[in-house]
Amino acid sequence: MAISMTIQKYLKDMHIPFEVLPHMRSASSVQTALAAEVPPHHVAKAVVLEDELGYLMVVLPADRHVQLSVLRERLGRKVNLASEKEIMQVFGDCALGAIPALGQAYGLETIIDDEIMEQPEVYIEGGSHEELIQLSRYHFMQLFQNAPHMHFASVH
């Protein structure tokens, strides 16, 4: 499976240059970082949440966990993890577990953790378990210039 068509079109429409970094098949974002030989802290992990308002994506470094209690408090919403079935309904052109950290490409509200925005370059899943998309910090920031950001991640 190649990079999702939705992501390819979105990056093209936004005039964002990127590189594709192939790697051995992996099952988690930390394993992906190791397989691609990039620091796990530079890989943007996407986590899909849901509440009564719908779906929401949060983006954080691969070596961090989402603190749901912090998000709930800061957002004033009772967000929970979306089910795999729900995720696949939204991200139909992606492999489960390889969801790109570009929720806005799929019409999702997206919130960024401050830590991932500090990296010199950022890698995101491309929709498959064998490729990462490499973006410069400048272009990553361009993609998320209007997205809310805050600190909601914790160390594993």
Per-position DSSP letters for 35-102, written without gaps between them? HHTS-GGGEEEEEEEEETTEEEEEEEETTEEE-HHHHHHHHTS--EEPPHHHHHHH-TTS-TT---S-
CB 94 within 8 A of CB 4: yes
Q: Is residue 122 part of a domain?
A: yes
Q: How many domains does the chain have?
A: 1
Q: Is residue 155 part of a domain?
A: no
Q: Residue 76 has what pLDDT?
A: 94
Q: Is residue 153 part of a domain?
A: no
Q: Is residue 95 part of a domain?
A: yes
CATH number at residue 26: 3.90.960.10
Q: Residue 5 has what pLDDT?
A: 95
SS3 category, 10: helix
Structure tokens at 103: 């929720």
Half-sphere exposure in the Cβ direction for 19 (13 Å, CA): 10
156: confidence class by pLDDT, cuts 50, 70, 90: low
Around Cβ 100, how many Cβ atoms within 10 Å? Answer: 27
Q: Is residue 112 part of a domain?
A: yes
Query: What is the extent of the structural domain holding 113?
Result: 5-147
**Cα–Cα distance between 154 and 156 in angstroms, integer?**
6
Q: Residue 2 has what pLDDT?
A: 81
147: confidence class by pLDDT, cuts 50, 70, 90: very high
CA terminus-to-terminus distance, the chain: 30
1: confidence class by pLDDT, cuts 50, 70, 90: low
Q: Is residue 93 part of a domain?
A: yes
Close Cβ partners of 142 (under 8 Å, ≥ 6 residues apart): 14, 16
CB 50 within 8 A of CB 80: yes
Structure tokens at 105: 């490409």
Q: Is residue 152 part of a domain?
A: no
